[in-house]
Chains A and B, each alone.
Chain A
Amino acid sequence: MSRNWIKLIIFFILISKIVSGQAKILHSPPRNIFSNSPIKIEAVVEGNTAEVERVRTFYRKVGQNAFIEEEMHKYMGVYTCTIPAEYVTIEGVEYLIIAEFADGYMAAFPEVDPYNVPMFLSVKKSNNGTVRKTKPGLTDIQNGIQGDIIILSPEEGEVIAAEEVVLAFSIFNTPDVALETVRLDLDNISILNQTEISEELIVARPKKINPGRHTAKLNMKNKNGDSFKTVVVNFTIVRSIEEAQRVVKYTGRVLVAAGSEQIRGMRQNINSLRANVSGSYDRLRFNAKTFITSQEDPAKQPRNRLTAGFKTSVFDLTMGDVNPQFSEFGLRGKRVRGFEADLKLKYFNTHVVYGQTERATVGEISNIPDTLAEGLQYSRTGYVYDRNLLAIRPYFGSGQNFQFGLSFIKSRDDTLSVKREYGGITQIGDRSIVFSGNKPKDNIVLGTDLLVAFDSKRFVWQTDFAFSYLNRDISNGPLTLEDLDTFMPEDNLKNDTLTLGDWNIALNDIPFDPGDFARYFIINKNISPLMPIVPDTNGAIGLKEFLNMPSTAYKTSLKLNYFNNYFVIGYQRVGPEFSSLGNPYLRNDVRGFNVSDKIRLFNNKVFITLTYDQKRDNLIRDKSTTTITSSFNAGIALCPGTGLPTISLNAMQYGLKNDLGIEDIDTTFNYDPVVVDSLVSIVYKDPRKSNITIRQDFRISHNVEVGPTRNTINITYANSERSDRIADRIPGYQFNATSTSMLSFGLNTAFQSPLKTNVKFTTNTTKSSTARDPYELMTVLLKGHYELFDTKLITEMGWVFTKGSGMIDFTKNNVFMGATYRLLKMHQFSGRFSYTFLNDRLSGDLFNDLSFQFNYTLIF
């Protein structure tokens, strides 16, 4: 710290003193200072209403010009810092304390001219000071008391950068340590003068340690004078963090599992191998994972998984089976066998995925040909085409505050991946084979996504938009310009004119051939939608028509996390013809909004949840009815903390309604075909829907200590009831009203011995107005878990009894036992046997099922 800077600070102090005249540093100089021993400086700041910005101590050896600055840390209102031992010499120590306030004022100790007249501490010569450095190292105490001393840092064998060394030992669980007997050596040299000792911790931050292997030893005695066993930790110092990271590090786990499961007499044997290896070198991180199972079958989709990849700060590459995520509309978690690469340049980034989402499977061929067709026609079913996917998403921004992405997702089935001839049946003479199963598809999705977030994501606005084109059958390839006059459905007239609604376009006027685009997307009669945008009744296209395009999907949501409220409002629309083969399970033809608020109260001990959600279908009015669903949920959860029960109560109402009225009741009059005007019966069909489901559930969980046991009690009660809300149903209309109720009681107990037990009792009753009797299910579980040999061996045993009555009638007894044994940290063996006796009184069958599972795990 320069002399001028200190003078400037003092000048401000004097000025501020004049102005305020109130702020004070209360400090009592320490006494009995010995050379080569650190000095703890403690101070209290008072008197100024403004907040204290920082408090610093400036210290120096007597005779030095410059002061060393040390920031003081506040705890329980007291500011503390330590003057290192090397500054505590026999010549004495000088120091001053300066406090700075938010309003710009300062206070100092000593109050008057602290820079020129700092506080002086006289230092006594330490008998130990020099002796410690030359004293022989600690003698290891092998026969001492085994204290519960925890080496917090470093880890045994750890490679640490010189700048990151901290030796920390916890004596939190060893309360009777005589602190004055603590000795800490580094490489047989005492570092007690660099050590901070308290009733809970012993901490040293040795500096200037040379690279190489080092040993720290801790010795101490209890208050009776008995020595604890020496605590030793070895570690290796390298010059820098980078060097520490440049050590190749790896870890892995291999699990081999063999199992045989029998259910209702049917046995299935499953063997698998799972291996994971990951590691790092410098800033490069790599991993490889594999899962091999006996369930792998070329006739089905792959069950085996193989992945290998690496990551750096700017580029990630993963090959094998990947599950990329772009956006909800385009690609979200679908497995792709290929590669995934992500270039991350902060402002401009690109995410690319290429590979196969489905692999070709052969399916079946009919044994008996269809003789009604021309010749002998065999049918192929159950096959799957190879489906290839390419997805590219350039995106801008890291996503912390802003991200804008553009996505292009292309999926296409390989029509040549399934051979027509199969099972020895060939197309010769009048024999033909037709594909009657899946049609090969082509799909393209273009999308954008935007995220804007502020304030550690307490404010987030997200919006996604996507547009899709799907070809439902590309087996006949693309249309050419010549065939474009028959493009529209039911237009088979070869008149060289393309008719789109009221528009007639001469083929000669069309400047392109659809076949030219086949590389990107195959255009033929099977594309969806045929018309990407539907004009209004006047033939005009406006914003409304744009937003209501049949194959678009968009959503927007605003999330606010303020004042202990997590508030979300969102709107979503997925057009009826939107389709992405990268996310084939997305529901389409739906739009709706949702509003929810989750309120956290009393330091996250009470949660209140309110949610409303409404959705409707039939967006382009191509269905006879529109169905609206709505749900409202209100819940409260109390989590008061240790010693008190956790309670939650939820109520949910779910409604479903369509827009049909009594005039939509379908009436069919059945007449006698022989006798004229002879009415035999009238059949009414009431398609109106308006029903409501009300559900409540109550849960309580409580930890109770009874004597030496710790117990967790869990009680759950839930019921739901579904009822019809239409009052004027015609007589005889049967609505499937259902009600369910469930009660569960569980008790988990941990005994002082390494025994843990679980007891659980559950009943479940379901009643339906269309069923004669209810479905009743009752389950009792008893389970024990016992640990042996310092948890190296863990055993478990249990019994599950299940009884079904009413519409079902059976009893099932299942007993199981298992054990896990850990050998030398690296090896783990486990086995489990299960026997089930099932008496199915409805079918009259008795089953004796035996299942078992063996695992071996290698950890390295």
Chain B
Amino acid sequence: MKKLHLLMLITFLMIFLTQGWSAGAIAITTKVRGTVSLKRSGETKFKPNVKLGELIFNNDHLKTGKDGYAALVFIDDKSLIKIWENSEMIVSRSSVKKTISKRISMQIGTLKAEVSPQRKGEFVIATPTSVASVKGTTFWVIIDPVLGDIFYGISGEVEVKNNESDAVIVVGANETGTSTPDGQVNVEQTLEGSVPVDEEDQGGEDSNILKIQMRNKQGDVKDIIIEYK
């Protein structure tokens, strides 16, 4: 009888798995550098060495170390999230049919979001201090549970609600919004040089590569790569 139950369990699992190995995937990692660890929903420990192309499922918990960096792309609309060192976030979704409402619960760290206009559903970034609703926006957020959040708008608008005071600000392009644990919010023009720089995203739109190979007398070869538009 016990064997029969086991057989049924395996059969059930096999049937379930054949429905698609990525069933329930929300996103996929497209860049992973340094220490990036992952804790799947229901697991209690982080597993290090997240792979490139790792699928991210509902309530997966990602954490970067002091040299960590990860970029993940959502599969339904190509919204892009990049997290830098010492960051921690839980990626979750609520989906109805083919709509994914995404929620990034970020405890601490630095995040850049390039959020596509949402076809349906919502894209929410929740921090200990604020909740940001995003629709077709590129922005940075530096999250510190002590000091609060700093939002740097790059394009579009992000609506930020402070959890303490419920005060709502809208951070637009070239604006910096602050939201602090004591309930204060503020929006002002972004100060020169204050926005973090995304080394991965300096290329703008289409680009071309000119590669020049150079060889010295010793036969050492070096490439000079020039990217131009």
Contact = CB atoms under 8 A, between A and B. Distances in A.
Interface of A: 26, 28, 40, 42, 44, 51, 53-54, 71, 73-78, 80, 150-154, 156-159, 164-166, 168, 170, 172-173, 175, 196, 198-201, 203, 205, 213, 236, 238, 241, 243, 245-252, 255, 274, 276, 278-280, 285, 287, 289-291, 305-309, 311, 318, 320-323, 400, 453, 456-458, 460, 462, 559, 561, 566, 568, 596, 598, 600, 604, 607, 609, 611, 635, 637, 639, 641-642, 648, 650, 699, 825-826, 859-860
19 contacts: A26-B6, A53-B45, A159-B225, A170-B75, A172-B75, A173-B76, A173-B98, A198-B25, A200-B22, A241-B33, A248-B226, A306-B192, A323-B191, A456-B88, A561-B128, A635-B164, A637-B163, A642-B122, A699-B166
B22 A198 contact: yes
Contacts of A245: 199
Nearest to B55: A201
A322 B57 CA distance: 42
The 5 closest A-B pairs by CB, nearest first: A249-B202, A307-B192, A289-B192, A153-B30, A198-B22
Interface of B: 6, 9-10, 13-14, 16-17, 19-25, 28-31, 33, 40, 43-45, 47, 52-53, 55, 57, 66, 73, 75-78, 86, 88, 94, 98, 101, 105, 107-108, 119, 121-122, 126, 128, 131, 144-146, 163-166, 174, 181-183, 191-195, 197, 199, 201-209, 223, 225-227, 229
Contacts of B122: 642
B147 to A, nearest CB: 9
A320 B78 contact: no
B166 A247 contact: no
B205 A825 contact: yes
Nearest to B99: A642
Contact of A250 (B21, B78, B202): B202
A607 B20 CA distance: 38
B215 to A, nearest CB: 16
Given A51-B44, A166-B53, A172-B98, A637 B14 contact: no
Contacts of B181: 559, 566, 568, 598
B88 A157 contact: no
Nearest to A202: B22
Contacts of A462: 146
Contact of B28 (A201, A250, A566): A201
B108 A150 contact: no
Contacts of B166: 635, 637, 648, 650, 699
B9 A249 contact: no
A168 B28 contact: yes
A596 B88 CA distance: 25
Contacts of A28: 10, 14
Contact of A42 (B17, B43, B77, B101): B17
A321 B22 CA distance: 50
Given A164-B52, A200-B20, A201-B22, A309 B193 contact: yes
A153 B28 contact: yes
A322 B165 CA distance: 30
Nearest to B191: A323
Contact of B163 (A80, A201, A607): A607
Contacts of B10: 26, 28, 44
Nearest to A824: B205
A455 B229 CA distance: 46
A859 B203 CA distance: 12
B49 to A, nearest CB: 8
Contacts of A321: 192
A199 B20 contact: yes
A223 to B, nearest CB: 15
A50 to B, nearest CB: 12
Given A170-B76, A307-B192, A285 B205 contact: no
Contact of B197 (A198, A255, A278, A825): A278
B86 A400 contact: yes
B126 A604 contact: yes
Contacts of B108: 456-457
Given A150-B78, A153-B73, A309-B193, A561 B145 contact: yes
B196 to A, nearest CB: 9
Nearest to A77: B13
A566 B145 contact: yes
Nearest to A74: B40
Given A73-B40, A287-B197, 7 more contacts: A78-B17, A150-B77, A170-B76, A559-B145, A568-B181, A598-B181, A604-B105
Nearest to A82: B21
Interface of B is mostly: loop
A664 B181 CA distance: 41
Given A172-B75, A642-B101, A280 B199 contact: yes
Nearest to A251: B204
B25 A201 contact: yes
Contacts of B88: 456
A308 B86 CA distance: 27
A69 to B, nearest CB: 13
B28 A453 contact: no
Given A164-B52, A201-B28, A205-B52, A305 B192 contact: yes
A196 B21 CA distance: 9
Contacts of A74: 40, 43
B30 A168 contact: yes
Contacts of A159: 203, 207, 209, 225, 227
A542 to B, nearest CB: 33
Nearest to B28: A168
Given A26-B6, A280-B197, A307-B192, A559 B21 contact: no
A566 B192 CA distance: 32
B145 A458 contact: yes
Contacts of A200: 20, 22-23, 25, 75
Given A172-B98, A561-B145, A860 B21 contact: no
A561 B143 CA distance: 14
A236 B33 CA distance: 19
B176 to A, nearest CB: 10
Given A40-B21, A164-B52, A598-B163, A170 B78 contact: yes
B103 to A, nearest CB: 8
B52 A166 contact: yes
Contacts of A650: 165-166
Nearest to B109: A456
Contacts of A153: 28, 30, 53, 73
A54, A152, A173: residue with the most chain B Cβ atoms closer than 10 Å:
A152
A4 B105 CA distance: 45
A399 to B, nearest CB: 10
Contacts of B121: 642
Contacts of B14: 28, 42
Contacts of B226: 247-248
B13 A860 contact: no
B164 A609 contact: yes
A198 B101 contact: no
A166 B174 CA distance: 33
A561 B31 CA distance: 31
Contacts of B204: 250-252, 859-860
Contacts of A252: 204
B135 to A, nearest CB: 10
Contacts of A251: 201-204
B68 to A, nearest CB: 13
Nearest to A596: B182
Contacts of B164: 598, 607, 609, 611, 635
Given A199-B20, A243-B223, A287-B193, A152 B28 contact: yes
B174 A274 contact: yes
Contact of A166 (B30, B197, B205): B30
Contacts of B197: 278-280, 285, 287, 311
A191 to B, nearest CB: 13
B13 A78 contact: yes
A290 B193 CA distance: 10
Nearest to B135: A750
